[in-house]
Amino acid sequence: MSAYGMKKYFIILIVLTLSQHAFCSNRCLLVADTGKSYGVVIHRAFNSAGPEYKTTLYKTRFAKGIPADFVNPGGWKKSKGGITSASTGLKNYLMLNREYGIDKRKASVTVKLGKDTKFNFFTLEIENTPIWGTMVQADVKNGTFNIYGPYHSDSASYPQIHINHPYRFVAGRTYTIEMMRENFANKFIIIDQLTGLGDTTIDASDKTSGLMRDGFAIAIRSGEPPVVSCFKVSTSYKPGMHMLFIGDSITEGLHMAPDSVNADYEKIALSKHLRVAISGRSGGRAEGVQNRVLSEITILKPKYVSILIGTNDFNTIENLTAICSSIKKSGSIPILNNIPWKFTGTVVKDNEIIATVRKNLGINGAAFDIATSVDYHNTNQDKSLFLDGVHPNARGIQRMFLQFVKDVPEVLR
Same domain, 15 and 109: no
Last residue of a domain, one of 235, 270, 304: 235
**391 secondary structure, DSSP code:** S
Last residue of a domain, one of 235, 258, 287: 235
Same domain, 56 and 202: yes
Relative to beta strand 32-33, strand 185-192 is: unpaired
pLDDT, position 206:
76
Distance between CA 385 and CA 3 in Å, rounded? Answer: 12
Burial class (CB in 10 A: 0-12, 13-18, 19+), 168: exposed
Strands lying side by side in the sheet with 276-280? 276-280, 243-247, 304-308, 333-336
Same domain, 154 and 199: yes
Last residue of a domain, one of 168, 201, 235: 235
Within 10 A of 270 (CB to CB), how many other CB atoms are there?
A: 11
Taking only the tens place, the pLDDT of each residue in 138-191 is 999 999 999 999 999 888 999 999 999 999 999 999 999 999 998 789 999 999
Q: What is the mean pLDDT of the chain?
A: 85
Distance between CA 208 and CA 220 in Å, rounded? Answer: 23
3-state secondary structure 198-263: EEEEEECCCCCCCCCCEEEEEEEEECCCCEEEEEEEEECCCCCCCEEEEECHHHHCCCCCCCCCCH
Relative to beta strand 118-124, strand 135-139 is: antiparallel
Burial class (CB in 10 A: 0-12, 13-18, 19+), 311: buried
Q: 169 is in which domain, residue-wise?
A: 32-235
Same domain, 138 and 199: yes
Q: What is the radius of gyration, based on Cα positions, of the chain? A: 22
pLDDT, position 217:
98
Backbone phi, then psi, for 267, in 5-degree steps?
A: -60, -40
Same domain, 250 and 222: no
Same domain, 17 and 38: no
Same domain, 180 and 80: yes
pLDDT, position 41:
54
pLDDT, position 276:
84
Same domain, 231 and 241: no
Same domain, 131 and 201: yes
What's the CATH code of the domain at 388? Answer: 3.40.50.1110
Same domain, 200 and 217: yes
Distance between CA 255 and CA 1 in Å, rounded? Answer: 10
What's the CATH code of the domain at 180? Answer: 2.60.120.200
pLDDT, position 380:
92
Same domain, 145 and 249: no
**pLDDT < 50 regions, the chain:** 2-9, 11-38, 43-50, 254-273
* Helices and strands in the chain: count of H runs, count of E runs: 10, 21
Looking at the structure of the chain, the number of domains it has is: 2
State the sign of the Cα–Cα–Cα–Cα dihedral 388, 389, 390, 395: positive
The residues facing 32 across adjacent strands are: 42
Same domain, 300 and 374: yes
